[in-house]
A and B are shown apart, each in its own frame.
Chain A
């Protein structure tokens, strides 16, 4: 049995830590966009790719995630019918924030990671709020709707934590 860190680590294939989670996010977004009401309430609409923006920056710095987030953000814009380029900027802002402080976050316990995730998500939504407020066509977005979507996105933290937990030690250079 091997005892070295390198040999016991999981292989870090782009499909595993980037492709598959991205596809799951797209599928979940599509399913939750179904126009049904349960007990009079519409389905929640969390921003799944924000969990990826958090996890990808922690797993390892790489050239691929920014472009994957750009693609996911454009998908959200087109699928939800919002202004094109809004969600890519929000996701990239969240990713940039985590990338800057990843040394502080790595290795923290569940609660602390959840707090960092909530902060990252708040930064992303703050960027979205600022961009929409500056947009010439409309005014400031409704804060209640913003907080509602933010809360549902924060609920996704276990998904992000699971992804980080699964691939964090895959490459010992980034411990």
Chain B
């Protein structure tokens, strides 16, 4: 007996009801997905396989879509440059005359800067390795601000790598496939970046909200903020290296302090992905682990503050008064100062405080 011939054969479920039931089921699935989403954690495992697959498929499509437009732009730029050549030449000559003066003062400033750094012993960050990439897709809505870049794990890109354009910081990598990576822009709702306010040396968190100018939260600046204050990455938290240009502070109509991003100055066609993992990368590990210390000299060039070796001291173990008997030196036989970490401190200090160091040498 078929169902239609049975007692329930005449029952008809209104289509609106069945559509409503399907709607409820679909909504439950969507809600479960939303609650299970861990996008805000910025962890590698939050970027699931489906996202990677879509990115991998979309990448060649985006490349082929954007290429003709870029060629057209390049062609138009060429033609415009040709017609504007005379005016451009005149303007460039004027700029060159100004730049010659600036060049001389820049050379003097650079030399002075190097000298002062040498005097203060400041270690500047070494250049970071980076890879260049082309952005192929771009989402600009209020709920998501991301870009797709056409390099991935094959070029060494990993989650968390900072992304910069020629003008300033753009964001960071949140998802990586083999040949493509997803960039979370500073304007995205999930983006929170620790920044430094240059004028006041204050700190703040730059929080995206889907608009073009992210806002400054948790501002800690004793001198307050002013329109036009420069903003750099602070390096706090270790996600970004310190000193990447971010933008300029501006007061928005809702009264909040926002940042006009430097990266807005031009189209973001090409970007650089800095292969930055943490600050340990910026240090010279060999130098940190090296047991060889430079010879520390006193004010008397011929006299070293390093204690004489046992052989030179007639077989007697020297006693370092200033170092408070460092274990390596006091245990006998190993009087080489550069083998003991505590002696490192004893030898490094005298450059700033020559008098105690000289006493330390004079004591034995």
Query: A residues within 8 Å of B by Cβ?
Result: 30-31, 33-37, 42, 45, 47, 60-67, 69-70, 73-75, 77-89, 92, 95-96, 99, 128-129, 131-132, 135-142, 144-146, 148-149, 174
Q: Chain B, 135-175, contact with A by CB distance < 8 Å: what is the 0/1 string?
A: 11111111110110000000000000000000000000011
Q: Is B16 an interface residue (CB 8 A)?
A: yes
Chain B contributes a number of interface residues (CB within 8 A of A) equal to 62
When C-beta atoms are compared, the residue in chain A nearest to B69 turns out to be A36
Cβ–Cβ < 8 Å partners of A95 in chain B: 23
Chain B residue at minimal CB-CB distance from A70:
B26
Whether the pair A140, B143 counts as a contact (CB closer than 8 A) is no
- Chain A binding surface, main DSSP class: helix
Complex CA–CA separation, A174 to B31 (angstroms): 30
In the complex formed, the residue of A with least CB distance to B135 is A35
Q: Which residues of B contact A (CB under 8 A)?
A: 15-16, 18-23, 25-27, 29-37, 39-40, 48, 50-51, 54, 58, 61-62, 65-66, 69-70, 73, 135-144, 146-147, 174-175, 182, 184, 188-190, 207-212, 267-269
Complex: A174 Cα to B15 Cα, angstroms: 10
Beyond A66-B23, A89-B31, whether A135 also contacts B138 by CB under 8 A is no
CA gap between A78 and B49 in the complex, in Å: 10
- Residues in chain A near residue B269, CB distance under 8 A: 35
Contact of A34 among B39, B65, B184 (CB under 8 A): B65
**Which 5 pairs of residues, A with B, have the shortest CB-CB distance?**
A137-B40, A85-B34, A142-B211, A81-B146, A82-B144
The answer to whether A70 and B34 touch across the interface, beta carbons within 8 angstroms, is: no
Least distance between A90 CB and chain B CB atoms (Å): 9
| Chain A residue at smallest Cβ distance from B24 | A66
Q: Nearest CB to that of B175 among chain A residues? A: A81
